[in-house]
Amino acid sequence: MPSPRRSSPDAQSVTSAPESRTEDQARRLRRYLITMTIRTICFILVVVVDSWWRWVFAAGAVFLPFIAVVAANAVRPAVRGRVRPVVPTVDRTPQISHESWPHDVEEHRAPH
């Protein structure tokens, strides 16, 4: 009779699986586009605003591309401790060994 399956406390959880590569790339692209949109707004405000804020917007227009590229190329590091190693367990099921196997099969057959 087969033994019932027992759930192991060390089973891998789906929620601890890392983010897929496609999702990671989409997240980085979205961050890049948002940063470059802010840069475009800074360029427009450099032309429109006529006060000391103009220099703040100019700095944003100059330095945001660097920040956007660095952020877009930043890949999340693998989180340690989320994936647990598989630990082998001892199988207590009795096994047929060479010594317990009948040497002469004809002697151990049941009569008809």
Query: Quick check: is 31 in a domain?
Result: yes
Query: Quick check: is 104 in a domain?
Result: no
Query: Quick check: is 35 in a domain?
Result: yes
Query: Quick check: is 94 in a domain?
Result: no
Q: For residue 46, what pLDDT is reported? A: 93
Domain that holds residue 34: 19-73
Whether pTM exceeds 0.75: no
Query: Quick check: is 49 in a domain?
Result: yes
CA dist 57 and 49 (Å) reads 9
Q: Is a pLDDT exceeding 80 seen at residue 3?
A: no
Query: Quick check: is 37 in a domain?
Result: yes
Query: Quick check: is 97 in a domain?
Result: no
Under the banding of pLDDT at 50, 70 and 90, the label for residue 62 is very high
Q: Is a pLDDT exceeding 60 seen at residue 108?
A: no
Q: Is a pLDDT exceeding 60 seen at residue 47?
A: yes
Q: Give the number of domains in the chain.
A: 1
Query: Quick check: is 68 in a domain?
Result: yes
